[in-house]
Structure 1
Amino acid sequence: MRKPRKAVSRLSGAALALAVTATACSGLSQGSGDQEFSGQTLTVAGTWVGGEGKAFRKVLDGFTAKTGAKVKFESSRATGVDDFAAFIRDKIKTKKSPDVAMVPQVGVLQQFAQKGWLEPLPPRVELEAARNFALVWQNYGSYRRVFYGMYFKASHKSTVWYNPKAFEKADVQPPGDYDEMLTAGKKLAAAGYPAFSVAGKDAWPLTDWFENIYLAQAGPSNYAKLATNEIGWTDPTVVKALKTLGRLVKDQDLVAGGGTEALRTDLNESVDAVFGKDPKAAMVYEGDFVASIIAGEEKKNVDKTAKFFPFPKVDEGEPPVLSGGDAAVAMKDSKNKDLAMSFIEYLASPKAAEIWAKEGGFLSPNINLDLDAYPDETTRKIAKSLVDAGEAVQFDMSDQAPGPFGGTPGQGEWQLLQDFVRDPSNPEATARKLDAAAAKAYLDASATGTG
């Protein structure tokens, strides 16, 4: 059992005193289970479907058992809507706003706060967050220094997964830097395995590729500036990162089938290409959720099937730690604000995280969640890596951008990086197109108050 680490509090002394008082008065915080909300109903909206939806349902059942409140969960994806911001906007227009929304992108959280759709979280929730989360997670849940979102589910997007049999056959070891990774890729190709299967059809994994390279190569300061549009996409650091990515995607020894095949391959297919019955590549890059894809419905033992190594450093930089996550926010239109706040306080507890952790397919930034709650050693290692990174964690850049640039199929960064994978010969031209698309998206978002 891992000893809990001390969280860094973001609260002022006055707020902390208020939080202690509020917590002392909260039956939920003391774990009384006195059914204080019996007869009431909480509505929660999110994006999870399938296995994730079922696992979250167990978390909701835990809240019901504790408080007596019924919980109704509605998934935007189950209704055929991929744009969560649009889903919530329509709910507000029809006066059917949920009490709590599980927001999947930090940019969307900030958009909701800017529009005045969110209720600030009270001191007692801030206290629970300060006990259980590093300061970086509290800051990403804030807008203009007001705490609106409590991060419940996280992802670790700096993991490279590999087939150990392929590595053994080619006599290669996990690399220490990007150059070593490409060199190992050449040896793997010579042994019969192209280095990577790349999920270019989905497009968003390409943004993750770029962001890991950029963070590792340009450093966290430049990363933060690019993520907030403080520097443009024609900056030399961007061109350099595109060239570094281009070294990979232009080489068919390094990408199975080259860029053309990558653009026909989605994430599930890329994972299957490495860990399926007939492996076609040795490695696949993506986040911790690759483990749940490998396990599948059969719940295969990931520890025996796959291994991973951290996304390597590039040049003289540090290895990146890139993340994303889903934050619980209370909607301003909620008629059940006290119930909503108690639910978010519950989600901030290690107990709530433990319920989903045991089900698999989940990672928590909660530093007081016992790592033994995770179902396999592989996930435990990833969770420890994320928690130990502390303040070094950087959030997914595309998730921080306006949707038309950072999160929409067929346009913006998604489309332009797909074009680059198809033809990586002119990174300067790609940078100019990215800069123009970003400038328009940020300008439109500023004009309409959506970013």
Structure 2
Amino acid sequence: MRPSRRAVLGAAATLAAAGCSSDVLGLRRGVRVAVSWSGQELRAFHDVLDGLGELEYPVEVVPLGDDISTAFGARSTRRPDLVMLPQPGLVPRHLHDLEPIPADLADRGRARLWAELLVHDGMTYGVPFKTAHKSAVWFRPSVFREAGLEPPRLWSEWLTVNQSLARAGVRPLSLAAGDGWVLTDFFENVLLATAPAVYAALATADSPQPSRQPQIAAALRLLGTMWSAPDTLAGGVERSLVQQFPDAVVEVFGHRRAAMVLASDFAEPVVRSFAADPDDVGIFTFPPLAPGAAAPVVVGGDVMVLPKPSSDDSLDLVRRLAAPAAVDPWVKEGGFLVDGRASGYSPELTQLAEQLSGTDGLLQFDLSDRLGRLGDINGLWRVLTDFLVRIGGRGGTVVPAAVDAAMTELRTVES
């Protein structure tokens, strides 16, 4: 996952001790755990650590936010011993920095979802900790009922639902364009639904060049039909561009100025905290393009990796965190999925977990995490942000020119 957490780190950027005092005060060196989480997610991780019981070594949690990749550059005695990496696509680029995972834990990294990212030359370099379903759409069922609508089963139905809601005076969609990864999630779902072979080829290419794929332009045109429709975005493009992920969720369930929001399973704690009516919460997943076609399922996640040289204590902590029951405290708080586990969740997350465990077709890992610099804030994020600015709420006539501009921008990023 890649929510932008920089704005909410604040005081949490200081070291937070868990379980025991800092190794500064003791003879035994502690295990320093670098994480990208903040707020509720960071508190939930501390609950997980507390649930491990008394450890023989101190544990320190270092919140690095969007700068999590800098954990690999540290070479001092204060470097992290364990990194909870929210971009598993970085693993192949940091193999020289990482210790292989022992055989007793390697099977988890060889599961269908993770093997391409974590297994190299027969060795496994990460243990999955958390899975994120990035094709989930949270909505308020009451709004749909009042308008006589059902959750869409096809992309065309989704466009019709949006038009019906807009005519009824309801803005259909809240969009967290302030977090570029939300825009890439949207685009990835459309691309996976329309051109799964191209998606897979880009994800595994040594030097991906999306601007040379006409299917990229086709996916942009399709996405443009939704984003360009008048009265679709709550607050228009202006608010969408400054709205971050939690704010977009609150827009639907707190302020109730929109009907739905594309948001991963980890939106659940925000949904539950702000929903005026706890029973007025629903979820559907990104619909397929045509009847009988497979629905796209884009997945993200966090993996545990061990920077070199690893210690016995850091390996012990990985083993403890990999135990099936270790994450129960976080599961109880909501917004947490484990690959292969489909029980113990809310009804909404159970629906997502069952889809993950039963999907044999269009299941792919987050593309932007695998494109390197092409997928980051100066690549696909920026291209899609500019695309939204050009088309947002302006009607379909502006889409062709905006697609051409986006493809030109992609070529510039690739060069």
Range into which the TM-score falls when normalised by the shorter chain: 0.7 to 0.9
Residue equivalent to 1:388: 358
Residue equivalent to 1:111: 93
User: 1:280–1:303: structure 2 CA closer, same or farther, 3 Å change rule?
Assistant: closer
* Post-superposition CA distance 1:41-69 (Å, at most 9, x none): 3221111222211211122233343x533
SS of 2:325's partner is helix
User: 1:176–1:152: structure 2 CA closer, same or farther, 3 Å change rule?
Assistant: same
Which residue identity lines up with residue 352 of structure 2 in the other structure? I
User: 1:54–1:193: structure 2 CA closer, same or farther, 3 Å change rule?
Assistant: same
CA distance in 2, matches of 1:111, 1:267: 28
Would you say the 8 A contact 2:266–2:334 is kept in 1?
no
CA distance in 2, matches of 1:356, 1:274: 24
Matches within 5 A, 1:337-356: 338-356=312-330
CA distance in 2, matches of 1:348, 1:175: 37
Would you say the 8 A contact 1:294–1:302 is kept in 2?
no
What's the % identity of the aligned pairs? 33
1:407 equivalent in alignment to 2:382: no
Would you say the 8 A contact 2:72–2:307 is kept in 1?
no
Would you say the 8 A contact 1:371–1:380 is kept in 2?
yes
Would you say the 8 A contact 2:266–2:336 is kept in 1?
yes
SS of 1:304's partner is coil
User: 1:110–1:303: structure 2 CA closer, same or farther, 3 Å change rule?
Assistant: farther
Q: Structure 1, unaligned stretches of length 5 or more? A: 1-37, 441-451
Would you say the 8 A contact 1:193–1:282 is kept in 2?
yes
Residue equivalent to 1:75: 63
Matches within 5 A, 1:293-332: 293-296=270-273, 304-315=279-290, 317-332=293-308
TM-score (norm 1): 0.78
Equivalent of residue 378 in structure 1, options 337, 343, 348: 348
- How far is 1:331 from its partner? 1.2
CA distance in 2, matches of 1:53, 1:198: 24
Equivalent of residue 230 in structure 2, options 223, 231, 252: 252
1:121 equivalent in alignment to 2:90: no
1:198 equivalent in alignment to 2:175: yes
Bigger mean CA offset, 381-390 vs 411-420 = 381-390
User: 1:283–1:274: structure 2 CA closer, same or farther, 3 Å change rule?
Assistant: same
Which residue identity lines up with residue 343 of structure 2 in the other structure? L
Would you say the 8 A contact 2:72–2:97 is kept in 1?
no
1:238 equivalent in alignment to 2:216: yes
CA distance in 1, matches of 2:264, 2:39: 19
Residue equivalent to 1:155: 132
CA distance in 1, matches of 2:83, 2:277: 32
Bigger mean CA offset, 221-230 vs 417-426 = 221-230
- How far is 1:393 from its partner? 2.8
Which residue identity lines up with residue 388 of structure 2 in the other structure? V
Residue equivalent to 1:46: 35
Residue equivalent to 1:86: 70
Would you say the 8 A contact 1:194–1:252 is kept in 2?
no
4+ aligned runs moved over 4 Å, structure 1: 300-303
- How far is 1:110 from its partner? 2.0
* Post-superposition CA distance 1:64-95 (Å, at most 9, x none): 43x53322211113xxxx22112441x22x34
TM-score (norm 2): 0.84
Residue equivalent to 1:333: 309
- How far is 1:390 from its partner? 5.8
SS of 1:224's partner is helix
RMSD between aligned residues? 2.4
Aligned residues: 377
* Post-superposition CA distance 1:328-351 (Å, at most 9, x none): 0111123x1x32223222232211
